[in-house]
Amino acid sequence: MATWKELGDGSLAAAKHLFSAGQYRSSVSRAYYAAYCALTSSLAQQGVAFGRGWNNPPHEQLPRLVRGNLQAPEWQRREINHALRRLRLHREDADYRPAAEVGQIVARDCLRDASMIIQRMEAADDPG
Whether the pLDDT of residue 5 is over 60: the answer is yes
Count CB atoms within 10 A of the CB of residue 47: 7
Residues 57-90 have pLDDT tens digits of 999 999 999 999 998 899 999 999 999 999 999 9
Tell me which amino acid residue 39 is: L
Rounded Cα gap, residues 75 and 78, in angstroms: 5
Q: What CATH number does residue 90 fall under?
A: 1.20.120.330
**Interior CA angle at 102 toward 58 and 19, to 5°?**
90
Mention every residue, 6+ apart, whose C-beta is less than 8 A from residue 5: 37, 38, 41
Domain that holds residue 115: 4-125
pLDDT at 101: 96
pLDDT at 127: 60
Number of structural domains in the chain: 1
Rounded Cα gap, residues 60 and 76, in angstroms: 19
> Which range, of 4-13, 99-108, 115-124, averages the lowest pLDDT?
115-124
Residues 87-112 have pLDDT tens digits of 999 999 999 999 999 999 999 999 99
pLDDT at 123: 87
Q: What are phi and psi of 69, to 5 degrees?
A: -130, -25
Percentage above 70 pLDDT, the chain: 97
Residues 43-54 have pLDDT tens digits of 999 999 887 788
